[in-house]
Structure 1
Amino acid sequence: MNSTGSETRHIGIRIAASAPAVYAYASDPAHLPAWARGLGGSIEEIDGQWVADSSPMGRVVVAFAPRNELGVLDHDVTLPSGETVYNPVRVIADGSACDVVFTLRRRPGVSDADFQRDADMVAADLTRLRELTEAV
């Protein structure tokens, strides 16, 4: 889980649901297509790996940090090129609500426009996560 990005943005959202409930939902890779559309519309477990074949980037492999009590949702996304992108994500408790913060790091060679597009996609994904977890 290494990064060589030159710019970082923390994209967060407040969710009116408990941190354990949000973490339980978001840490289940089977739920990714419902809220993390940047990874595609479907995902399946193949030989112990979570594979999204319909991502905009092509076939990607997603690997989450081990389940934990700290709200750490870090995950690696291995691109078709073999490059692995580390994505730090935290679910931070605040009483009966929580904050979810995704750290977006600009990869080398990514334009300003593409970095902004990535940030907008993350914000949209977090909004869907809020809608899904507040509705429960």
Structure 2
Amino acid sequence: MNSTGKESRHVNIHIASPVEEVYSYASDPANLPEWALGLGGSIENVDGQWVAESSSMGRVVVTFSPENDLGVLDHDVTLPSGETVHNPVRVIADGAGSDVVFTLRRRPGMSDSDFRRDADMVAADLARLKALTEPGQGPR
């Protein structure tokens, strides 16, 4: 077990859609329940804050980076304990397509199996994002 919390893992996927389209879809908090199931099955704006209901984490507050032209989809997740987890995410142009990169950071005290489970959930979320935003893969 790595208890320092200093380990990071980059989880990425290539999507055959322009960076603007992927960013536009993924940056809309209302779309999160369709592709980011690791964050929760629902999200709502409550008094100016985005609140998600997660079966594994409980009720969490999600704060998103301001809209930008750089493909930055960073978001902070404030857990019921009050701990805030920063999640760096980038949508990067790759020719006519996009690479989406999520940097997963191990939290202090997190076991190897929990870190692996989180990475697997992020990979599944990115696969759903690909299915929803790539031509011929799903609704747009």
TM range (shorter): over 0.9
Distance 2:11 2:54 in 1: 25
Provide the secondary structure at the position in 2 that maps to 1:51.
strand
| Alignment TM-score, normalising by the size of structure 1 | 0.94
Deviation, 1:54, is 3.8
Aligned to 2:46: 46
CA deviation digits over 1:73-124, x for unaligned, max 9? Answer: 0000000000000000000011210000000000001000000000000000
Tell me what 2:108 maps to: 108
The ranges of structure 1 where at least 4 consecutive aligned residues each deviate by more than 3 angstroms after the TM superposition are none
The CA distance in 2 between the partners of 1:54 and 1:77, in whole Å, is 11
Question: How many pairs are equivalent?
Answer: 133
Give the distance between the partners of 2:54 and 2:116, measured in 1 at CA. Answer: 22
Q: Structure 1: give runs of 5+ residues left out of the alignment.
A: none
TM-score (norm 2): 0.92
Q: Secondary structure at the match of 1:103?
A: strand
3-state SS, counterpart of residue 70 of structure 1? coil
| SS across alignment from 1:39 | coil
Identity of aligned residues (%): 74
Amino acid at match of 2:117: R
Letter paired with 1:87: N
Q: Measure how far apart 1:35 and its partner are.
A: 0.5
